[in-house]
Amino acid sequence: MLVIAMDGPSGSGKSSAAKGVARMLGLRYLDTGAMYRAMTWWMLDQGIEVEDADAVSASAGEPALRVGTDPDAPAIEVDGQDVSGPIRTREVTNAVSAVSRVPAVRERLVVLQREIIATGGIVVEGRDIGTVVAPGAPVKVFLTASEEARAQRRALETARDAETTLAEQARRDHLDSTRKTSPMTKADDAVEIDSTELGLAEVIDAVVRLVKERAAAG
């Protein structure tokens, strides 16, 4: 079964590239970051102190999450409510690293992710897909870009100044790559693609070529 794991830091162009690859190859698409964001949105909505790992852990099993896998219409619902807009707010973005370092949160979401992955070909984007969620994936990509290029892309998306974006991004990268439970790391067998100087089409092309090479190698 074709599982393409795409990991990397924020602003590396992962989401656009992962969706593009899924469309081109007729595969489903799973945004695991959206699941961590949905859990975070729910915690904030409930008034749970996200820095309090015990409180987060105690309620991690409560929200009902549903995530879609259509690359053209990625849907995410919490307790039946569409949260695709609210999970992208700055408040959620700045709280998500605290929630996603809690082992009970990760355990629950990894189970859901593996259930979705098990039902057919899919492109999965995140931080720990090649290392923890789908270590047997036949194609693994670790997408990077310079810190400045990543902040610039994010600033364009969020209409905030580059300096604030850079600072918030650096804080999140640091938290995501130094946490104890499944930190963001490149899997040993992942192919690193640096997108600093590449356009979206070139990144998609590089991943599709890799998939074809792997398929040809059997």
Residues lying near ligand DC in the complex (CB under 6 A) are found at: 10, 32-33, 36-37, 96-97, 100, 126-128, 172, 176
Residues forming a β-bridge with 6: 125, 141
What is the rounded CA–CA span in Å between residue 212 and residue 75?
29
Between 19 and 127, CB nearer to ligand DC? 127
Q: First vs last Cα of the chain: how many Å apart?
A: 12
Residue whose token pair is 């053209």: 72
Between 27 and 110, CB nearer to ligand DC? 110
Decide if 124 contacts 113 (C-beta within 8 A): yes
Closest approach of ligand DC to the CB of residue 198, in Å: 19
Decide if 45 contacts 51 (C-beta within 8 A): no
Between 127 and 140, CB nearer to ligand DC? 127
Closest approach of ligand DC to the CB of residue 100, in Å: 4
What is the rounded CA–CA span in Å between residue 199 and residue 184?
24
Distance of CA 124 to the CA centre of its chain: 8
Closest approach of ligand DC to the CB of residue 47, in Å: 21
Between 180 and 216, CB nearer to ligand DC? 180
Closest approach of ligand DC to the CB of residue 49, in Å: 18
